[in-house]
Amino acid sequence: MDKIPKKTIQRLIIYRKILNSLIYEGVTNIYSRKLAKMAGCSPEQVRRDLMVIGYSGSPVHGYNVSELEYSIGYLLDQPMGVRLAVVGLGDLGYALLNYCYWQYPNLSTLAAFDENAENRNKVSDICPAYGIDKIKEIVRKESIDLAILTVSSENVQQYADILIESGIKAILNYTPIHIDMPQNVYVEDLDLMLAVDKSAYFAGENDK
């Protein structure tokens, strides 16, 4: 199977979430038109995206909700799960750690890191927490795949470098600083405040 575009993956994740809530509501079938409306894209786009996972609907009943959810999950989920560590336990790091631990059965939350011992204590009922100097050792030993980075702006690249040396596969960077990466490591920059600037711009733009 050849590589699936990032945009498609992102929408598949959205469809899946919608399908899960439909399952919860007891809906059994859905048309591309409806799914598109709920996801915020066009029906053609939905059908295109579903082509790549090879699941076919019926022109009469549309798509079977639970079968489709299963097919998307089969594509998206790593069969062995994903091994997660959180680096930085401020408010955001703490919230994300909790959320991942409770809401993502496919993620194993295996370690947290913070230089502050008080912060480390807050998470002791969820996973072991270590000082920053232990990152390389633990990430290697636990073969962590994914790190969530929420340290406070300074030395971001340094933390990233340590994670890369330790063999991390992906970094979710909640820091406002872009990190430079070798090809084979996936980085998602996710500056929360960027969206504020953008919205502020577009709030004014429509006036003309």
Please report, as ranges, the residues that interact with DNA according to CB under 7 A: 5-8, 31-33, 41-45, 47-48, 50-51, 55-60, 62-63
56 interface partner picked from DNA, its own copies, none, CB below 5 to 8 A per type? DNA
| Minimum separation from the CB atom of position 2 to its own copies (A) | 12
CA atoms of 178 and 205, how far apart (whole Å)? 27
107 interface partner picked from its own copies, DNA, none, CB below 5 to 8 A per type? its own copies
Give the binding range for its own copies (CB under 8 A) out of 9-17, 45-53, 117-125, 130-138.
Answer: 9-17
Q: Residues near 89 by Cβ (< 8 Å), separated by ≥ 6?
A: 97, 112, 113, 114, 116, 119, 120, 122, 123, 129, 150
Contact call for residues 191 and 176 (beta carbons, < 8 A): yes
Contact call for residues 41 and 13 (beta carbons, < 8 A): no
Name 148's bridge partners: 86, 172
Q: Residues near 166 by Cβ (< 8 Å), separated by ≥ 6?
A: 135, 136, 139, 140, 144
CA atoms of 96 and 34, how far apart (whole Å)? 31
27 interface partner picked from DNA, its own copies, none, CB below 5 to 8 A per type? none
User: Is 203 one of the binding residues for its own copies (CB under 8 A)?
Assistant: yes
| Minimum separation from the CB atom of position 88 to its own copies (A) | 15
Which residues here bind its own copies, judged by CB under 8 A?
Answer: 6, 9-10, 13-14, 17, 37-40, 76, 78, 80, 82, 84, 91-92, 95-96, 99-100, 103-104, 106-107, 145-146, 148, 169-172, 176, 178, 180, 184-186, 188-190, 192-207
